[in-house]
Amino acid sequence: MNYHNFEIALQEVPGEISLCFSISGCPLRCEGCHSPFLWNAKSGTPLTVEGCNKILNKYKGFATCVLFMGGEWHEKELIQLLKIAKKNNYKTCLYTGEEHISKVLIKELTWLKTGSWNPKLGGLNSATTNQKFIEIKTQKLLNHLFIKN
Protein backbone atom coordinates (compact mmCIF):
# COMPACT_ATOMS: atom_id res chain seq x y z
CA MET A 1 0.00 0.00 0.00
CA ASN A 2 1.59 3.25 -1.14
CA TYR A 3 0.87 6.72 0.16
CA HIS A 4 1.28 9.77 -1.98
CA ASN A 5 1.69 12.28 0.79
CA PHE A 6 1.47 12.85 4.52
CA GLU A 7 0.34 16.07 6.17
CA ILE A 8 -1.09 17.47 9.38
CA ALA A 9 -4.79 18.16 8.75
CA LEU A 10 -6.76 20.58 10.93
CA GLN A 11 -10.14 20.72 9.19
CA GLU A 12 -10.91 17.26 7.86
CA VAL A 13 -11.87 15.88 11.29
CA PRO A 14 -13.53 18.64 13.33
CA GLY A 15 -11.86 19.37 16.64
CA GLU A 16 -8.91 17.05 15.94
CA ILE A 17 -5.33 17.45 14.80
CA SER A 18 -5.02 14.64 12.27
CA LEU A 19 -2.07 12.78 10.82
CA CYS A 20 -3.34 12.46 7.28
CA PHE A 21 -2.12 9.83 4.80
CA SER A 22 -3.33 10.00 1.18
CA ILE A 23 -3.30 6.46 -0.19
CA SER A 24 -2.42 5.76 -3.83
CA GLY A 25 -4.61 3.72 -6.17
CA CYS A 26 -8.09 5.23 -5.82
CA PRO A 27 -10.26 3.17 -8.22
CA LEU A 28 -13.27 5.52 -8.26
CA ARG A 29 -12.16 8.11 -10.82
CA CYS A 30 -14.79 10.69 -9.89
CA GLU A 31 -15.42 13.34 -12.52
CA GLY A 32 -13.60 16.53 -11.52
CA CYS A 33 -11.42 14.64 -9.00
CA HIS A 34 -9.24 17.07 -7.05
CA SER A 35 -6.45 14.49 -6.64
CA PRO A 36 -6.03 12.48 -9.87
CA PHE A 37 -2.42 11.80 -8.84
CA LEU A 38 -3.94 9.30 -6.37
CA TRP A 39 -5.30 7.10 -9.16
CA ASN A 40 -1.99 5.39 -9.87
CA ALA A 41 -1.46 2.64 -7.28
CA LYS A 42 2.27 2.64 -7.98
CA SER A 43 2.85 6.31 -7.21
CA GLY A 44 4.19 7.41 -3.85
CA THR A 45 6.01 5.44 -1.16
CA PRO A 46 5.11 2.17 0.59
CA LEU A 47 3.43 2.84 3.94
CA THR A 48 5.01 0.19 6.12
CA VAL A 49 4.17 -0.65 9.74
CA GLU A 50 7.61 0.69 10.73
CA GLY A 51 7.17 3.92 8.77
CA CYS A 52 3.71 4.48 10.18
CA ASN A 53 4.85 3.76 13.76
CA LYS A 54 7.67 6.25 13.36
CA ILE A 55 5.27 9.05 12.35
CA LEU A 56 2.74 8.14 15.06
CA ASN A 57 5.47 8.24 17.71
CA LYS A 58 6.83 11.52 16.43
CA TYR A 59 3.48 13.30 16.83
CA LYS A 60 2.33 11.62 20.06
CA GLY A 61 0.95 14.24 22.48
CA PHE A 62 0.40 16.72 19.63
CA ALA A 63 -1.85 15.03 17.08
CA THR A 64 -5.04 13.27 18.18
CA CYS A 65 -6.31 11.38 15.15
CA VAL A 66 -4.99 9.28 12.27
CA LEU A 67 -6.82 9.97 9.02
CA PHE A 68 -6.63 7.93 5.83
CA MET A 69 -7.71 9.46 2.55
CA GLY A 70 -8.73 6.23 0.85
CA GLY A 71 -7.00 2.90 1.17
CA GLU A 72 -10.10 0.74 1.66
CA TRP A 73 -8.99 -1.09 -1.48
CA HIS A 74 -6.08 -2.44 0.63
CA GLU A 75 -8.38 -3.55 3.42
CA LYS A 76 -6.05 -5.91 5.28
CA GLU A 77 -3.15 -3.44 5.38
CA LEU A 78 -5.41 -0.53 6.27
CA ILE A 79 -6.95 -2.44 9.19
CA GLN A 80 -3.47 -3.30 10.43
CA LEU A 81 -2.48 0.38 10.47
CA LEU A 82 -5.76 1.47 12.06
CA LYS A 83 -5.22 -1.04 14.86
CA ILE A 84 -1.72 0.37 15.42
CA ALA A 85 -3.16 3.90 15.55
CA LYS A 86 -5.75 2.85 18.15
CA LYS A 87 -3.14 1.02 20.18
CA ASN A 88 -1.21 4.30 20.29
CA ASN A 89 -4.32 6.11 21.61
CA TYR A 90 -5.15 7.91 18.39
CA LYS A 91 -8.72 8.30 17.18
CA THR A 92 -9.22 7.11 13.60
CA CYS A 93 -10.98 8.33 10.49
CA LEU A 94 -11.37 7.17 6.90
CA TYR A 95 -12.41 9.36 3.97
CA THR A 96 -13.80 7.08 1.29
CA GLY A 97 -15.54 7.87 -1.98
CA GLU A 98 -17.62 4.71 -1.58
CA GLU A 99 -21.15 4.69 -0.14
CA HIS A 100 -20.42 1.63 2.00
CA ILE A 101 -17.38 -0.14 3.40
CA SER A 102 -17.02 -3.49 5.17
CA LYS A 103 -18.04 -4.02 8.80
CA VAL A 104 -14.53 -5.16 9.74
CA LEU A 105 -13.14 -1.85 8.56
CA ILE A 106 -15.89 0.20 10.25
CA LYS A 107 -15.00 -1.54 13.53
CA GLU A 108 -11.61 0.19 13.54
CA LEU A 109 -12.94 3.73 12.95
CA THR A 110 -14.03 6.63 15.13
CA TRP A 111 -15.37 8.57 12.13
CA LEU A 112 -16.15 7.78 8.51
CA LYS A 113 -16.71 10.05 5.53
CA THR A 114 -18.57 8.43 2.65
CA GLY A 115 -19.60 9.49 -0.85
CA SER A 116 -17.87 10.31 -4.08
CA TRP A 117 -16.92 13.81 -5.20
CA ASN A 118 -19.64 15.52 -7.21
CA PRO A 119 -18.75 19.12 -8.13
CA LYS A 120 -22.43 19.97 -8.64
CA LEU A 121 -23.30 18.95 -5.08
CA GLY A 122 -20.12 20.08 -3.33
CA GLY A 123 -18.17 18.67 -0.40
CA LEU A 124 -18.93 18.39 3.30
CA ASN A 125 -19.19 22.17 3.65
CA SER A 126 -22.08 22.26 1.19
CA ALA A 127 -25.73 21.85 2.25
CA THR A 128 -26.46 19.91 -0.96
CA THR A 129 -23.62 17.41 -0.67
CA ASN A 130 -24.03 13.68 -1.26
CA GLN A 131 -21.20 13.04 1.20
CA LYS A 132 -21.69 12.02 4.83
CA PHE A 133 -19.44 12.47 7.85
CA ILE A 134 -20.53 9.98 10.50
CA GLU A 135 -19.48 9.28 14.07
CA ILE A 136 -19.39 5.49 14.14
CA LYS A 137 -20.20 4.91 17.81
CA THR A 138 -23.43 6.92 17.74
CA GLN A 139 -24.13 6.70 13.98
CA LYS A 140 -24.69 10.46 14.13
CA LEU A 141 -24.39 12.48 10.94
CA LEU A 142 -22.01 15.37 11.74
CA ASN A 143 -22.04 17.30 8.43
CA HIS A 144 -23.28 20.42 10.26
CA LEU A 145 -19.81 20.77 11.81
CA PHE A 146 -18.40 21.60 8.35
CA ILE A 147 -20.90 24.26 7.43
CA LYS A 148 -19.88 27.79 8.34
CA ASN A 149 -22.62 30.13 9.55
Binding site for ligand SF4 (CB under 6 A): 26, 28-30, 33-35, 38, 97, 116-117
Cα 72 from Cα 95, distance rounded (Å): 9
Least Cβ distance, residue 90 to ligand SF4 (angstroms): 23
Least Cβ distance, residue 138 to ligand SF4 (angstroms): 25
Residue type, 21: F
Q: Point out the residue whose Cβ comes nearest to ligand SF4.
A: 97
Cα 84 from Cα 97, distance rounded (Å): 23
Least Cβ distance, residue 29 to ligand SF4 (angstroms): 5
Secondary structure (DSSP) of 117-148: --TTT-STTSTT-S-EEEETTTTEE-GGGG--
Of 53 and 116, nearer to ligand SF4 (C-beta) is 116
Of 33 and 79, nearer to ligand SF4 (C-beta) is 33
List Cβ neighbours of 41 (8 Å cut-off, separation of 6 or more).
Answer: 2, 24, 25
Of 80 and 116, nearer to ligand SF4 (C-beta) is 116
Of 30 and 79, nearer to ligand SF4 (C-beta) is 30
